[in-house]
Structure 1
Amino acid sequence: MLVSEHIGQFFLDADGTRDRLEYTEYGGGDSWVVLLHGQLMPRRMHQPLARSLAAEGFHVVTLDLLGHGRSDRPADPQAYSVAAFGSQVVALLDHLGAAQAVVGGTSLGANVSLEVAATAPERVRGLLLEMPVLDNALEAGILTFSPLLMAARFAPFTINTLRRLTRPVPRGVVPFWAGIGLDTLDQRADAVAAVVHGLFFGRIAPSAAERRAITAPTLVVGHPRDPVHPAADAALLAGEIPGAEFVQARSILEWRVSPERLDRVAGDFCQAAWRSPKRRSRRA
């Protein structure tokens, strides 16, 4: 089934700065779903899932958070935090005129979705979380991103050279996920350093107490044998949020290369979230 697709943008004004954020809408209607990408990845990573959900009647939006994809990339670490990203999602909903949405994402996107649920629970119809990054991922995250931060700060030519080499490759002539990899390598060293720095030294996710207070319907997808996103974190989160459902992927790559099962699980979850009565937040 073909669905309409539309690219849009909006602007954030704060502290004398103006930042542009870009998004893509799939489908239409009032059953909104917002999908958020992983760290340093583009929103296009969620294009297959967005098209699948839109074909089921959902109005799906994929957003490039600040510093990612085709959104602006300021070189100021103070511009980047999970809290700031959560505010950007709320600003997107305001821009679209969406009172509520199922909010979800992968890795960083999952953590940002949790932040939205903790700070603006009245805007969240449900949470669709893949590979959240919590306590069990701390050491692996440091080992993964510290070298990247050091390279971006002290050997910026490495990041900028990769950008010059990968940017000219036409995305239409390579397989989809190879194109996503090329897009992920299309970085500026100063912006990469700022993003990683901001996330390293800021709040990475809502506290356990805040997570236990979430009342939105929640689906958590965990991966086996994934050191950066341990399944233990996903299972822990599913145990903390009342009534959350935990689904284990068959492998790290299942949702990327053989998505039918998890697309169906996600579609069923979104249908149920939008059928269920609107919940009052515990804060209210």
Structure 2
Amino acid sequence: MGRAALASEQVGQVFVEGRRGRDRLEYTAYGAGESWVVLVPPLLVPRGVHDRTARMLASHGLHVLVLDPLGHGRSDRPADPLSYSVTAFAEQVVALLDHVGAARAVVGGSSIGANVALEVAVRAPERVAGLLLDGPVLENALGAQLALLTPVLSTARFAPLALTALRLATRPLPRRLAPAWVGLVLDTLDARPGPVAAVVQGVLFGRFAPSSAERAEVRAPTLVLARVADPFHPVGDAATLVEEIDGAVLERAEAALEWRRRPERLDLVVTRFALECARPARRARRTRSS
């Protein structure tokens, strides 16, 4: 599969109505054209986690948007737990599509970002050309996720000075000289305790994912990436999703962190899927122009 020329990148912003008024969300757009992809990061992680994937997809002619949902990255970070939920993040994805004038897109995400993509497919199925779900977090992962996120919530809420000290200690460290994953970790740690506690509380005590019955109603083409040796994203959740969604395809990683450490094989799988989802729109454009 030949690669296109290096795609352009542009930072943008979109405003959404929230509990306290208008909230500002930031995103990066990669590439151009009318075949859209939207990627959502994991909980508390900034959108830079998807930079490499977005560039790869854009280099094949897709127009890719990577969003910082409310409370993440460079978007606004209110300290109100009621501002946050998987449902609210899904509404923000739809608002982003409205903002850029995209009728439909392949919507994807990693971890709880995959749950957000699922929620978009349930709430606005007409806007979803396909689903790219990396390590979805469903019933089998709930215990492990609670074990991971509860200490984060407790520390941010009851020992905020610890997080503040960590933030102040890591903030001066240079990002440009560090490996990409180190810079991503440092950016994740650069968050105030109040918003961190609010995001985790809002997601944990809100609607975590669509129900099994709702997932079974999804009709969009779906690719599910299953991780191995990852208790926070068990293969069982990915397999369950493939059984529930008619026609969904399961792609198992061959090693732990394969898509991060040796991405070539999964890059090919993901690119082929996204381009296949884009074909109906491209055929429609050719028909209108003929």
> Could you say which TM-score interval applies, normalised by the shorter chain?
over 0.9
Residues 1:243 and 1:276: Cα distance change in structure 2 (over 3 Å): farther
**How far apart in 1 are the matches of 2:124 and 2:43?**
22
1:232 lines up with 2:236 in the alignment: yes
Compute the displacement of 1:163 (Å).
1.1
- Secondary structure of 1:86's counterpart equals helix
| Equivalent position of 2:287 in the other structure | none
1:190 lines up with 2:194 in the alignment: yes
| Equivalent position of 1:270 in the other structure | 274
Alignment deviations for residues 136-161 of structure 1 (CA, whole Å, 9 cap, x no partner): 00110111111111000100011111
Kindly provide the amino acid, as one letter, of the partner of residue 236 in structure 1: T
**C-alpha contact 2:35 2:281 (8 A) present in aligned 1:** no
Compute the displacement of 1:276 (Å).
4.1
Kindly provide the amino acid, as one letter, of the partner of residue 47 in structure 2: R
- Secondary structure of 1:172's counterpart equals coil
Structure 2: 5+ residue runs without aligned partners?
Answer: 283-290
Kindly provide the amino acid, as one letter, of the partner of residue 96 in structure 2: L
| Equivalent position of 2:285 in the other structure | none
| Equivalent position of 1:202 in the other structure | 206
Structure 1: 5+ residue runs without aligned partners?
Answer: 279-284
1:130 lines up with 2:134 in the alignment: yes
**C-alpha contact 2:18 2:83 (8 A) present in aligned 1:** no
**How far apart in 2 are the matches of 1:232 and 1:277?**
33
Identity %: 58
Kindly provide the amino acid, as one letter, of the partner of residue 228 in structure 1: F
Alignment deviations for residues 39-65 of structure 1 (CA, whole Å, 9 cap, x no partner): 110101000000000000000000000
Kindly provide the amino acid, as one letter, of the partner of residue 175 in structure 2: R
Compute the displacement of 1:212 (Å).
0.4
| Equivalent position of 2:92 in the other structure | 88
1:52 lines up with 2:56 in the alignment: yes
Residue 6 of structure 2 is aligned with which of 2, 9, 34? 2
- Structure-to-structure mapping, 1:40-119, within 5 angstroms: 40-119=44-123
**How far apart in 1 are the matches of 2:41 and 2:174?**
22
- Secondary structure of 2:37's counterpart equals strand
**How far apart in 2 are the matches of 1:38 and 1:224?**
17
**C-alpha contact 2:39 2:108 (8 A) present in aligned 1:** yes
| Equivalent position of 1:213 in the other structure | 217
Residue 143 of structure 1 is aligned with which of 147, 159, 163? 147
TM-score normalised by the chain length of structure 2 = 0.94
1:20 lines up with 2:24 in the alignment: yes
Residues 1:16 and 1:181: Cα distance change in structure 2 (over 3 Å): closer
Residues 1:27 and 1:277: Cα distance change in structure 2 (over 3 Å): closer
**How far apart in 2 are the matches of 1:163 and 1:127?**
35
**How far apart in 1 are the matches of 2:215 and 2:183?**
35
Instruction: Count residues with an aligned counterpart.
Output: 278
- Secondary structure of 1:173's counterpart equals coil
1:152 lines up with 2:137 in the alignment: no
Compute the displacement of 1:14 (Å).
3.4
Compute the displacement of 1:16 (Å).
4.5
Kindly provide the amino acid, as one letter, of the partner of residue 174 in structure 1: A
TM-score normalised by the chain length of structure 1 = 0.96
Instruction: State the superposition RMSD in angstroms.
Output: 1.2
Kindly provide the amino acid, as one letter, of the partner of residue 85 in structure 1: F
Alignment deviations for residues 56-91 of structure 1 (CA, whole Å, 9 cap, x no partner): 000000000000000010000000000100000000
